[in-house]
Chains A and B, each alone.
Chain A
């Protein structure tokens, strides 16, 4: 494994300088509005076990689908391209079955986990059983190679899961069974890494998702089996611990995906609690999402192909459950305040829009910055 010298750090904070109370959002928070539901379960095509979504520069969404299809003997992940408004749809756009182009030498990536897209439109996908990061051209779906060395040493991959790009377009990868975070160049040269197994602050237990906070230039990691989220500097210094085990407000049960929006607000897919949580940059719990899904045109169309199902729906006493998340696995920030929540267990993506009013520097009350959150 070749290790390249680390570029000049873009980290704005270290453990010595990071003060979560100084992180005051540059907006007035209004709330979130449910927008629409993408996908739905379909007999052929559509989403089945969606794991993660990435937004391409051309506005298409790339969705990793992980469930095997009936009759498929070799596990394979499907990739679906869908328009944000659900008006466009393409199946298997990324994986070609040429074999030679395939990143793992078989006819498929067996177990894609998470994905990210850089500014040029290159899609990066982790595969936890193949132990690779594969690259694709998001405009054409053509494979652009892959990298990754299986192992448990620094820079080696052992069940890679979360993936994120920083402002320098270096690639951060969660090596989940090594309980480490690794940084690579876009071409897979190892730059640095940190982590280690345990439950003490700063240690990790099967971490899953990762996000780069664009405001602070720090890393936010879903520390899955420790039921918490941790914030690190790029050098691996622990800056903040968010959440604790449980199912109460702000508590977590196996958090999988994380995302940070342009204001530094942190969204956590609280997977085994069937909800998504939102924290402000200080790590204070703000809001939870249980799901508000509605039938979209695909769902309605599918129902109308089987009128028995239409009749059954009329006999169901409570349709409320149908709106709710089931094992939401990841969250991705979209354009214009959109927040895409991947509702894996219900084969769909629920789209919300963050509502807020941007504040000018004069409108931010400096006195509020250092108010102890316990007293507010």
Chain B
């Protein structure tokens, strides 16, 4: 595509502006986490690791982080199994109502969290289940499945059906074909889908509010409880910075795995 040099510069400037708007607040929070003052005032003053040390010894954020990881991992594990099975069923078999089923699987990601949350809560109460860790996992799995399903289905659709036939032709039975051909070829899609699903679960707050129960605080819930309390401000900044740094890893991994030339089949 040809662009005049002024258009090119305008686009560059605009891109830079968007990135600044996106990232400046995050950098600001990171800077505040080593600020000597315990407020959001500008300009930040001094430099200290005091808050990092304190935050490290506080049980609240640590427990919340642990809960978030637990929830995310369990929901992702469920999503990987169900999403992969659904992807196989919907890409390989033809049956009545296939498109409808596909729509119903994908829909939860488009539903407003507040609707999902309220619906699940009233549903659980209706059948007499007290909301707790397990209900939270089920709630998160509803949208984690979508991510895994989409990734797995996209990959399966791109795989030539001839590969399966070639495998069978060479003497492999169904399970051998899955183990030696299909699964290795969809592995990167599953890893990428799993990472994204985990990330989605990790920062989910709306559905979580309704389905976690009173005693079970995930990290987003802990933030919501603490970010307006003056005493907690430095800790909130530290935890936020920590989470940002930690979340770079899975996102980077996911990108690498999905972009790798070998993964395109």
Report if A and B associate in a common complex.
Answer: no
A interface residues with partner B (beta carbon < 8 Å):
none
B interface residues with partner A (beta carbon < 8 Å):
none
